[in-house]
Each structure stands twice: as C-alpha cells, then as structure tokens.
Amino acid sequence: MSDIQATQTRLVDDIIAASDLDTLEALRVAALGKAGSITALLKSLGAMTPDERQAQGPQIHALREAVTTALADRKAALDAAALDIKLAAEAIDMTLPADAAPKGSVHPVSQVMDELAEIFADMGFAVATGPEIEDDWRNFTALNIPETHPARAMHDTFYFPEVGEGAAQRMLLRTHTSPVQIRTMMSQEPPIRIIAPGRVYRSDSDATHTPMFHQVEGLVIDRGIHMGHLKWTLETFLKAYFERDDIVLRLRPSYFPFTEPSAEVDVGYKQEKGRRIVGGHGDDDGHAWMELLGSGMVNRRVIANCGLDPDEWQGFAFGVGVDRLAMLKYGMDDLRAFFDGDLRWLAHYGFGALSVPTLSGGISA
C-alpha cells in the first residue's frame, strides 16, 4: 500500500469518526486547508517530473476527491442528526384543540324557500313578492271575500287602526299570500306562472299556530288550464320536494271564495318512530291522510276583478305552509321554535351556507 493510500484510509476513518461539526471542520482544515496535508501534496505536483506526475497525480487527486466526499457525507449526516434532535424538541401534543372557525347556518324556512324556488323554476314558475301590510281590497274583496262574507271569520285578521272617514282602504296584515295573485294579475299579462312565498299573519296562537308564519302561493293563468294541470303540478312539486316517487295525493272538494272548484289536498303518510313520513297511499295499511294544502281553479270573479277576461284566461292557485313543509321534511315538531332564535336549535336544524339546493346536486342539499 502506498503512502497516499494509507493517508486516505486514515483521513476517511477520522472523518467518519468525527462526532460533531467542530471536529469535522478541524479535520477539513488539517487536510484541505491552506496548510493542509492534501493541499501540500497537491502543491508538490508542480515540482515533479512528468513521469512522477504521471504516476502520482491521479492518486493525489483521488485522495482529495475521496476526502471531500467523506467530509460532505459526514456533514450531511451530522446536520440530519442535529435537525432530528431540534424537531424532537419541538414536539407538541397534537390532540390539543385547534381554534374552530365559527360555523353559521341558514334558517330552515329560508332553505325551504330556496328549495321551492329551485323546483318551481324548472316548471317555469317565477318567484313573486308583495307587501305584508296589505289593504282590505287585495287581501279580501278582490279575492271574492266581501266584508260580510262568513269566510272573513275564517281568518283572524290583524288590522291597523282606521285612518278616518273616507280613507281608501283599511290596512291589515295579510292573512295569506293570495294578495300577491291579485298584484301579479294586475301588473302582468298572462300567461302567468308564479310562486309567492312570504310571511303571513293570523291572530292565532297555540302549540301548532303562531301569529306569524310562512306560506307559499302558486298561481297559473293561461288558456285551457284545468284541474288536471293543478293535480300534476302539485304531484310533481311534492315528489321533487320530498324526493320520493311514492307521493300520493287525495284531492277533496272544499270551499275557498277565491277558487271554484276548490280542493283540499291530502297526502298519504305513515307514522314512524313518532314522526310522520310522507309517502304511500293514505288508505294502505299503517298509512293515513294528512291535509297539506288548499287549491282550486281561480274564481272567475277574481280574474275579472284583476281586469282580465275570465272567458279567455283561466288557471289554478294553491297555498301551503312553508314552516309545515319544513317540519314534515326535516322533522321539527314545534313551530314556535322557528321564531325563537335559539342558537342550539339553529345549529341543529339550520343548513350550511354551501348547502345550496340545486337540481343537479339535489334539492335537499
């Protein structure tokens, strides 16, 4: 073994044995520094004969290469070990709680109204609105409910004080969303397809009634519309809303001054674990009917009251409680809780901001 080879073996062994960066640096300076042993060997090449250089040169360069590599490898190893120790010292109990971003919610009534808008948009219905402080004429008279009509007793109406003699109309809180029918027919040329959701008021308060609640009205005015279209529309809407194909409706003749013929609409359901599950035929085993909405063909007088020709235009209207639709679908059992603002209730029954009902993603997003 030549001297050079021996030197290489010794130096590399020392480098591998270096236990810290300072020792390693000292070894580097001793070998490759200005006065280092390998630096001296490299300098000696200049004084050699070509033959000697031919023989010694590659060996010296190989020595330098080997030592440089050993130094770099050892430094990397020592650095990695140091980093491991530093990181180990930084360890934290990752089960500690993180600050949660506050989570908000959309009220079930708003969510259901969005669902309704989405479903009815597909059937070509626009969403219309009207004031909640209405006049007597649009809430009652135009809807074929004259002052002495017993049907007015069906609505426990909130009135505002009479403004005095000769005031045009007594103002009141609308008892249903039907005045929006009147406003729409008076401002828009048929054909008309609208739904009108909103707050309505009745002077009524018990476990299942609140003096304020939400309703959605539907109105179609066109040529040749009949009860068959009404039935299809309600079936299609309820199947989409409840996302069930087994929705069965029962239409029962009834009476509303603003429709003729009039029908109450029952839906079949069954009781499961204390909850009403909509679906199935109400006469089937374990099933029953539940009254869900009122509907009918718009009374000719109402159409005429709005300045349209009832011989040309006819159509249907329906109304249903939005809060009730929400309760039936999402399982709340107390209407009063809707209007309490209890954060626990809202967090439980509310909807995430991104749960936007869409036809492609599902109505019950």
Partner 1 sequence: MKMTLDWLKEHLETSASVHDVVATLNRIGHEVEGVENPADKLKGFRVARVLTAEKHPQADKLQVLTVDTGDGGAPLTVVCGAPNARAGLVGVLGLPGAVVPANGMELKVAAVRGVESNGMMCSSRELELGDDHDGIIELPADAPVGTSFADYSGAGDPVIDISITPNRQDCMGVRGIARDLAAAGLGTLKPLAVPTIIGEVAPATEIRTDDPEGCPAFYGRTISGVANGTAPEWMRRRLEAVGQRSISALVDISNYVMFDLGRPSHIYDRAKLTGRLVARRAKNGETVTALNGKDYTLTDTMTVIADDIGVHDIAGIMGGEHSGCSETTSDVLIEVAYFTPERIALTGQALALTSDARSRFERGVDPAFLDDATAIVTAHVLAICGGTPSAVTRAGTPPAEVKTVDYDPTLSATLGGIAIAPERQQGILTALGFTIIEQGGRWQVAVPSWRRDIDGAPDLVEEVTRITGFDAIASVPLPRTDGVAKPTATAEQMLERRVRRAAAAAGFHEAVTWSFISDRDAAPFGGGDWSLANPISEDLKVMRPSLLPGLLAAAQRNQNRGADSIRLFEIGRRYLADAEHPTLAVLMAGDKRARGWQAGKAAPFDAFDAKAVALALLDAAGAPADRLQVMEAVAEGSIWHPGQSATLRLGPKAVLAEFGALHPLLTRHFDVDGPVMAVQIFLDAIPAKRASGPARAAFTPPALQSVRRDFAFLAPTSLTAAELVRAIRGADKAAIVDARLFDRFTGQGVPEGQVSLAVEVELQPVEKSFTDAELKAIADKVVAAAAKVGAELRG
Taking CB under 8 A as the binding criterion, the range among 31-39, 54-62, 110-118, 270-278 that sits at the site for partner 1 is: 110-118
Q: Which of 30, 42, 66, 251 binds partner 1 (CB under 8 A)?
A: 251
Distance of alpha carbon 166 from alpha carbon 168, whole angstroms: 6
Nearer to partner 1, 74 or 202 (CB): 202
Nearer to partner 1, 25 or 260 (CB): 260
CB contact at 8 A, 271 and 289: no
Q: How far is the CB of 283 from partner 1 (least distance, A)?
A: 9
3-state DSSP assignment of residue 313: coil
Indicate whether 342 belongs to the interface with partner 1 (CB under 8 A). yes
Nearer to partner 1, 66 or 127 (CB): 127
Question: CB neighbours (10 Å) of residue 306?
Answer: 22
Phi-psi region of 126 (alpha: psi -120 to 50; beta: other; left: phi over 0): beta
Question: CB neighbours (10 Å) of residue 44?
Answer: 13
Nearer to partner 1, 279 or 350 (CB): 350
- Residue numbers 299-338 binding partner 1 by CB under 8 A: 299-300, 314, 338
3-state DSSP assignment of residue 236: helix
**Token pair 């009135």: residue:** 159
Nearer to partner 1, 1 or 354 (CB): 354
Q: How far is the CB of 297 from partner 1 (least distance, A)?
A: 6
| The dihedral formed by the CA atoms of 108, 111, 113 and 117, expressed in degrees to the nearest 10 | -160
Nearer to partner 1, 82 or 121 (CB): 121
216 phi and psi angles, rounded to 5 deg: -130, 135
Residue 337 DSSP class: G
Mark 159-188 with x for binding to partner 1 (rule: CB under 8 A) and - for no binding.
xxxx--------x-x---------------
Taking CB under 8 A as the binding criterion, the range among 13-21, 32-40, 64-72, 252-260 that sits at the site for partner 1 is: 252-260
CB contact at 8 A, 243 and 363: yes
How many angstroms from the chain centroid is the CA of residue 267? 28
- Residue numbers 197-236 binding partner 1 by CB under 8 A: 199, 201, 203-205, 211-212, 220, 224-233, 235-236
Distance of alpha carbon 332 from alpha carbon 324, whole angstroms: 9
- Residue numbers 18-77 binding partner 1 by CB under 8 A: none
Size of the residue set binding partner 1 (CB under 8 A):
92
Six token digits for residue 78 = 């020592």
204 phi and psi angles, rounded to 5 deg: -155, 130
Mark 128-157 with x for binding to partner 1 (rule: CB under 8 A) and - for no binding.
-x-xxx-------------xxxxx-xx---
Q: Which of 78, 356, 364, 365 binds partner 1 (CB under 8 A)?
A: 356
Strand partners, 93: none
Taking CB under 8 A as the binding criterion, the range among 34-42, 65-73, 182-190, 257-265 that sits at the site for partner 1 is: 257-265
Q: How far is the CB of 280 from partner 1 (least distance, A)?
A: 16
How many angstroms from the chain centroid is the CA of residue 275? 25
Q: Is the peptide bond before 253 cis (omega within 30 degrees of 0)?
A: no
Residue 179's closest CA among 302, 314, 312, 261?
Answer: 302
Q: How far is the CB of 237 from partner 1 (least distance, A)?
A: 11
Indicate whether 122 belongs to the interface with partner 1 (CB under 8 A). yes
Indicate whether 282 belongs to the interface with partner 1 (CB under 8 A). no
Nearer to partner 1, 65 or 122 (CB): 122
HSE on the CB side for 53, CA within 13 Å? 9
Q: Which of 74, 116, 125, 293 binds partner 1 (CB under 8 A)?
A: 125
